[in-house]
Chains A and B, each alone.
Chain A
Amino acid sequence: MTSMTALGFRSWRIGYLPAIYIILIVVIIGAGLTSDRFLLPSNLIAVFQQAVITGIVALGMTIVLIGGQFDLSTGAVVMMSAVMALLISPDSAVAAILAVFIPILAGAAVGVVNGLAVYAVRANSIVVTIGMQFLIVGLVLAAVSGQHVYPENLAASFRAIATTRIFGIPMPVVIFAALVALLSVLMSKTVFGRHVYAIGGDIETARKAGIRVIQIGTLTFALSGALAALAGVIIAALVGHVDPTAIAKYEFPALTAVVLGGTSLSGGEGRPAETAAAILVVSVITNLMTIMNYQYPVQLLVQGILLTGAVAFYAYRRGHA
């Protein structure tokens, strides 16, 4: 409990529990009441599967945002990583290992470039990462000449990333849960995490306190890139092929969840665990809309309204955005 208050801010709580968890329970109950298809085990598993990819992206975005910056290039990194993993054609266990680590390294490298542009050059993080997104998508498309990537003979060990079940829970969900735990510890109990909060709170103060702002800031972006790449690898293992022209925009639902989970848009506040809860909220809502036959456009609309609402609400509560 000490570590929670050491951060000097308290999440919006109802009773002792952070509000987002209450919202999650409410939303789940609401969804269950609205549609009996929601509570079907197969559907619930689908909800979690959906949540995992966006969730991993959102975790990375949370860390970058705690440091006060935005990373909107993650969707492109997910795609890049999925394509890379499949191009490495993991038809053996050895290749499978490469297919996991090389994309992650590539994602981290992209993050480093982003981080340096933002922290060393002090360029605007939104514009930099959006530009980077375009650049990467273009590069990947050029690399595969716009063609569908459909490797044959995917090794079982590679597909196992997505298909194994531990105690009945799909591996991706286990990975996600492990990441939430790891990142929570990283942010609240290590010097690195403390420094990220400091940088996000007041970058000049952090600098004056001797914190290596450029190194730590760049590391947050590298982490975000690596996480996005991990998500891409999971997709590759899950689906087995990638259509590079179908670029799903993961950044937006991820950002919505990050804000909903209480991470401040001006930096210095936020917790990975609460982002995870918020991701589940967003996934449940999106899933409900799919069940009720509201297609993608309406889902997009609702997400946008959700984001604006969340930003406005927290801005009102905090007294600033």
Chain B
Amino acid sequence: MTAPIIELVDIAKSFGGIRALKGVSLSIFPGEVMALVGHNGAGKSVLVQIISGVFSADKGTMLVAGQPVQFRNPADARDAAIETIYQTLALADNLDATANFFLGRELRKAFGFLDTRRMKDVAARALQALNPEFIDIERPVRQMSGGQRQAIAIARAVHFNARCLIMDEPTAALGPRETAEVGELILRLRQKGLGILLVSHDVRDVIRLANRIAVMKSGQLVGVVDAEGANEDSIVNMIIRGSAKGIRH
């Protein structure tokens, strides 16, 4: 049995007096899509932010490819080949596509100078591989459509050789055609052997795209079910009720 890419053991996190996560254990395997669903405030975002290095857990351990890790900041998570695509995409509006693609890991020449030409080449190729219609690479991101911005965020994550990709509500702001494209992309990435954590509100989408579905409520993991054979109502039931009664694990 292959080792999980990411394994969370008993992760707990509090903010002031609020216990956002109360001991969550979860494993994500390479080549699988693990969906994370639950109400607002269930703790999904906090869990994601702990895996992506924005916060550190108060208690519990996180293992990447079998090794225990401590992420002090988002850069550490990236170094461990965990890429995150935030719901807000985390793009800098005042910079262009290339600059955003390489943000925080710019290609350098000597003495801290930017290697703009190489970055443009690499970014252009990566973006066009994803979306051949992506031509205007020099426009400020501020002027781009939702789908184009999404493409930059995804292309960036894929390019930097993620072992694990976290996608936070990737289709929330997209139309049906772009949603389908993202779905195809996710399947392709899965075939490449990436482990994907997909956070979503849309239970139907999730049943279609994911291998397993983890349901959270009030900071705890209610249960993890196989997507195959799951039905929407029972999942929604788990989200609302917080109980896994009558569900196959």
The answer to whether A and B touch in the complex, with CB atoms under 8 Å apart, is yes
Find A269's partner among B54, B75, B94 (CB 8 Å cutoff). B94
Would A208 and B94 count as touching, CB distance under 8 A? no
Q: Once the chains are docked, how many angstroms separate the CA of A53 from the CA of B106?
A: 35
- Contact pattern, A 150-193, Cβ under 8 Å of B = 1, otherwise 0: 00000000000000000000000000000000000000011110
Q: Is the CB–CB distance between A5 and B138 below 8 Å?
A: yes
Asked whether any CB of chain A lies closer than 8 Å to the CB of B23, the reply is no
Asked whether A201 and B93 contact (CB < 8 A) given A6-B99, A207-B74, the answer is yes
CB distance from A320 to the nearest CB of B (A): 11
8 Å CB interface, B63-103 against A: 73-75, 78, 84, 86, 90-96, 98-99, 103
Q: Please, which residues of chain B bring their CB within 8 A of the CB of A200?
A: 94
CA distance A195 to B54 in the complex (A): 19
Does any Cβ of A come within 8 Å of B242's Cβ? no
> Is A253 among interface residues, defined by CB-CB distance under 8 A?
no
Q: Which residue of A lies closest to B117 (CB)?
A: A2
Give the chain A neighbours of B95 by CB distance below 8 A.
6-8, 194, 197-198, 201, 268
A293 at the interface (CB under 8 A from B): no
Among B75, B112, B120, point to the contact of A190 (Cβ < 8 A).
B112
Contact A189 B92 (CB under 8 A): no
Residue A202 lies at the interface, judged by CB distance under 8 Å to chain B: yes
Q: How far is the CA of A197 from the CA of B48 in the complex (A)?
A: 27
Q: Is there a chain A Cβ closer than 8 Å to B177's Cβ?
A: no
Q: Fill in one digit per residue for A290-310: 1 if any B CB lies within 8 Å of its CB, else 0.
A: 000000000000000000000
| CA distance in complex: A5, B90 (Å) | 20
Cα–Cα, bound, A3→B106 (Å):
14
Within 8 A of B (CB), among A202-218: 202, 204-211
Contact (A211, B103) CB under 8 Å given A8-B142, A192-B112: yes
Residues of A within 8 A of B104 (CB): 195, 198, 206, 209-211
Q: Which 10 A/B pairs are nearest by Cβ-Cβ distance? A: A210-B75, A209-B104, A8-B140, A268-B94, A201-B94, A210-B104, A8-B96, A201-B92, A209-B103, A8-B95
Of the A-B pairs whose beta carbons lie under 8 Å apart in the complex, a sample of 28, sorted by A's number, is A2-B117, A3-B116, A5-B138, A7-B99, A8-B93, A8-B99, A8-B139, A189-B114, A190-B111, A190-B114, A191-B106, A192-B112, A198-B92, A200-B94, A201-B94, A201-B95, A202-B90, A202-B91, A202-B93, A205-B90, A205-B92, A206-B92, A207-B73, A208-B52, A209-B103, A210-B74, A210-B75, A210-B105
A residues whose Cβ falls under 8 Å from a Cβ of B: 2-3, 5-9, 189-192, 194-195, 197-198, 200-202, 204-211, 268-269
